[in-house]
Amino acid sequence: MRELVSRLKTEKILVEGIYFCPHHPGERCPCRKPKTFLLKKIKKTYPGLDFSKSYFVGDKKEDIETGKKYGIKTILISPDCNKKFGADYCIKTFSELLNIIED
């Protein structure tokens, strides 16, 4: 993850934070995707953040569902882009991420 953030920084793309749920799926916590607790926390931490100008990147259907709930552009990372789960973009590798975000 540090490598990705470092590379984005060299491209002048700011990453304000990286949020994740540390719990096991069976724990049924409020931060497990597709629940939106972490997005609410982000919005509270960064009240000026415009989700419509943000990206939600993930490799699972739940990631795409979570981003869509808040009107965030979604990017699915998957070797099979035939199963996009409604994502706005689908890429096969992290290296393709900059092609989307830079636009």
pLDDT tens per residue across span 26-49:
898 999 999 999 999 999 999 999
Angstrom distance (rounded) from CA 49 to CA 22 = 24
Is the predicted pLDDT of residue 103 greater than 70, yes or no?
Answer: no
CATH topology of domain 2-101: Rossmann fold (3.40.50)
Torsion sign across C-alpha atoms 28, 33, 36, 38? positive
Residue 66: count of CB within 10 angstroms of its CB: 21
The reported pTM is 0.82
Is the predicted pLDDT of residue 8 greater than 80, yes or no?
Answer: no
Q: Which helix (H) or strand (E) holds 67?
A: helix 61-69
Angstrom distance (rounded) from CA 89 to CA 98 = 12
Q: What is the largest CA-CA distance in the chain?
A: 39
The residue extents of the domains of the chain are 2-101
φ, ψ dihedrals at 74, nearest 5°? -115, 145
Q: How confident is the model at residue 13 (pLDDT cuts 50, 70, 90)?
A: confident
Mean pLDDT, residues 3-9: 76
pLDDT tens per residue across span 75-88:
999 998 888 899 99
